[in-house]
Structure 1
Amino acid sequence: MATRRTTRVEVPIPPTPNGNTSDKPQPPMLADTPLVANSPFLPTTLETALIAIYPGTLLLGSLISALNPASRNATYLPHTQAYAVSEAPSYFAKKSNFFNVYFVKIGWVWTTLAFFLFVASHSSLGPPLRLKLTKRRLQATARYVVVTAVWIAVTQWFFGPPIIDRSFRWTGGKCDVMFDDTRSARAGRADMSDMEKAFTHAACKSIGGQWAGGHDISGHVFLLILGSAMLWLEFLPAVLRMDGLREARRIRTADGLVRSAAIETREHPGNMEVPEKLGYGVQGALFVAGMSWWMLLMTAAYFHTWFEKFTGLLVAFTAIYTVYFLPRAVPAWRQVVGMPGV
């Protein structure tokens, strides 16, 4: 009688991330969350294109200024970072224009309203218009708090004067007191304390002085980029089913491996259905982000020097990267602020 021969196949146990083998069962690899080689520190191609709009806008504004005969013939006043009012080449070149006074000057108010209207009304973060603290809403709020803290530190207060004022002083700037024949220089200087002379732009302006000699980071460029980029990066991944904004993002997981961001969605599924209509929250965010882009273009064309605008862009990008891109590579930070759209 013939006997049946069996073949025994040895399957090697794959090594663990630290190089050792283990008899413990390994979790199954999800088919739609593969290991990827790209760095989690870098944005996707689509995100890169979105971010590139900002330096492109600054370049476009500079080109408009260079090609506009009215701009070339107008007198630019470095101490005000603007053209002389009587020679302003455009309505938007005047600091008193309606959009500058009622939108840019209080820009963070508009950004805050748009942000929380989106968070409260979009179903991807929780039940619309219901006071339910979901994990996604809490993490979105954490992102807002961090970005707002950066805005305060740069433009409002940083253990005293804000970073913009401090950087002006660090680069050799000072407050020049202006006086006429009926007012002596000594009397003018007496109106300021030593602390005010050393640090605050507001105090210098209040006594009729002006900043001179230092580098002034463009607060307008910083504010407009910071607020609009935050809004874009919040609502686009939640609204658009685009791989370049969602699953194509790379993250480093707790085991040290780099995977698609889709694994985060599987671990915290919740309600990620995209509504058929945009809704008031998305529409409000679109309006504020669109207005911010237009005023950024006007700022690029008519206010500040190129280097002042560049440093405003750089500071804004640093904050955006810390909140929206760095968490992908740092799991502990991702647990705090999360990721939009997952």
Structure 2
Amino acid sequence: MEHLERCEWFLRGTLVRATVRRYLPWALVTSMLAGSFLKEFSPLPESYLSNKRNVLNVYFVKVAWAWTFCLLLPFIALTNYHLTGKASLVLRRLSTLVVGTAIWYVCTALFSNIEHYTGHCYHSPALEGIRKECQSKQHCHREGGFWHGFDISGHSFLLAFCALMIVEEMAVLHEVKTDRGHCLHTAITSLVVALGFLTFIWLWMFLCTAVYFHDVSQKVFGTLFGLLGWYGTYGFWYQKSYSPGLPLQSSSSNLKQDSYKK
């Protein structure tokens, strides 16, 4: 437990800082552009991480929203109930996960449609021999072909969005104080460590995507959608009274605030 608490203390001192929330979007854009520049003009040699079948990609990135959802749900529920004691406010804050799920679903569906309507089926990866009879990516693959369209980077979108969302939600830790011997302390500490490591995985794989995969324009659009999803919610809508609200950052003994202004 002591090692877990030390790790949690380190994460509180890094990811929970207001400066991290302020500059992380810029860091994502910078790393995406730098990685893309490296890929185009000085590509790195093939490595384990450039293989789409690597462990982090298969078991984490492919289901990034599921990991983020499953860890944020108990974290938001426990921290907000601890601070407010009101189930209605907890449910209101948990609705951010419903909004996040809608953003994930709409954007991935949009990306898939864009790739479909801009794509053609080819006999080889060299993009030769258009097979016009294939009307979809799935049909093309069944026929042994290679579908080429404008494939907006879903990884750039989702990893950026998930990392930003986790960092925003962890801001509530400024107010959370628990007794060391209480089971709630153990639960929240464990969730903070899990979310922290998950965030570092998302950031690392975001950089790997920039270095090894997709064209520059595809990564730019993917990252842009991730930033728009984050800013449209935490930077704009959640600051309104008719929204799920922002994570708690101030409280009083009588009435707990359910949002904050940056």
Is TM more than 0.5 here?
yes
- Given residue 120 of structure 2, which amino acid in structure 1 is its aligned partner? K
Q: Residue 283 in 1 paired to residue 240 in 2?
A: no
How many aligned residue pairs are there?
219
State how far apart, in whole Å, the 1-side matches of 2:213 and 2:57 are.
12
Q: Which residue of 1 aligns with 2:203?
A: 293
Partner-residue secondary structure (3-state), 1:175: strand
State how far apart, in whole Å, the 2-side matches of 1:47 and 1:117 are.
21
- Among 16, 28, 43, which residue is 1:54 paired with? 28
State how far apart, in whole Å, the 1-side matches of 2:99 and 2:238 are.
16
- Given residue 162 of structure 2, which amino acid in structure 1 is its aligned partner? G
- TM-score normalised by the chain length of structure 1: 0.57
Give the 3 Å change call, closer, same or farther, for CA 211–323 of structure 1 in structure 2.
same
Assess if the C-alpha contact under 8 Å between 2:120 and 2:147 holds in 1: yes
1:266-296: CA deviation from partner (whole Å, max 9, x where unpaired): xxxxxx4444866122112111111100111
State how far apart, in whole Å, the 2-side matches of 1:283 and 1:275 are.
16
Give the 3 Å change call, closer, same or farther, for CA 275–56 of structure 1 in structure 2.
farther
State how far apart, in whole Å, the 2-side matches of 1:201 and 1:153 are.
19
- Among 77, 98, 107, which residue is 2:64 paired with? 107
Q: Which residue of 1 aligns with 2:7?
A: none
Q: Which residue of 2 aligns with 1:243?
A: none
Assess if the C-alpha contact under 8 Å between 2:111 and 2:151 holds in 1: yes
- How far does residue 140 in structure 1 lie from its aligned partner after superposition? 2.4
Assess if the C-alpha contact under 8 Å between 1:118 and 1:281 holds in 2: yes
1:226-282: CA deviation from partner (whole Å, max 9, x where unpaired): 1111111111x2013xxxxxxxxxxxxxxxxxxxxxxxxxxxxxxx44448661221
Give the 3 Å change call, closer, same or farther, for CA 217–137 of structure 1 in structure 2.
same
Between 55-64 and 225-234, report the one with greater CA deviation: 55-64
- Among 142, 157, 180, which residue is 1:222 paired with? 157
Give the 3 Å change call, closer, same or farther, for CA 273–106 of structure 1 in structure 2.
closer
State how far apart, in whole Å, the 1-side matches of 2:98 and 2:86 are.
16
State how far apart, in whole Å, the 1-side matches of 2:32 and 2:54 are.
20
- How far does residue 135 in structure 1 lie from its aligned partner after superposition? 3.4
Matches for 1:198-237 after TM superposition, within 5 Å? 200-212=136-148, 214-235=149-170, 237=171
- How far does residue 99 in structure 1 lie from its aligned partner after superposition? 1.1
Partner-residue secondary structure (3-state), 2:247: coil
Give the 3 Å change call, closer, same or farther, for CA 219–290 of structure 1 in structure 2.
same
Give the 3 Å change call, closer, same or farther, for CA 141–177 of structure 1 in structure 2.
farther
Q: Which residue of 2 aligns with 1:119?
A: 76
Q: Residue 338 in 1 paired to residue 245 in 2?
A: yes
Assess if the C-alpha contact under 8 Å between 1:119 and 1:137 holds in 2: yes
Q: Which residue of 2 aligns with 1:167?
A: 114
- Among 172, 192, 206, which residue is 1:238 paired with? 172
Q: Which residue of 1 aligns with 2:233?
A: 323
- Given residue 211 of structure 1, which amino acid in structure 2 is its aligned partner? W
| Structure with greater Cα Rg | 1
Q: Which residue of 1 aligns with 2:220?
A: 310
Q: Which residue of 2 aligns with 1:263?
A: none
Moved over 6 A (4+): none
Q: Which residue of 2 aligns with 1:20?
A: none
- Given residue 174 of structure 1, which amino acid in structure 2 is its aligned partner? H
- How far does residue 307 in structure 1 lie from its aligned partner after superposition? 0.8
Assess if the C-alpha contact under 8 Å between 2:21 and 2:164 holds in 1: no
Q: CA RMSD in A?
A: 2.9
- Given residue 291 of structure 1, which amino acid in structure 2 is its aligned partner? I
Partner-residue secondary structure (3-state), 1:126: helix
Q: Which residue of 2 aligns with 1:95?
A: 52
Residue identity over aligned pairs, in percent, reads: 28
The runs of 5 or more residues in structure 2 that have no matched partner are: 1-17, 125-129, 180-184, 249-258
State how far apart, in whole Å, the 2-side matches of 1:297 and 1:304 are.
12
Q: Which residue of 2 aligns with 1:176?
A: 122
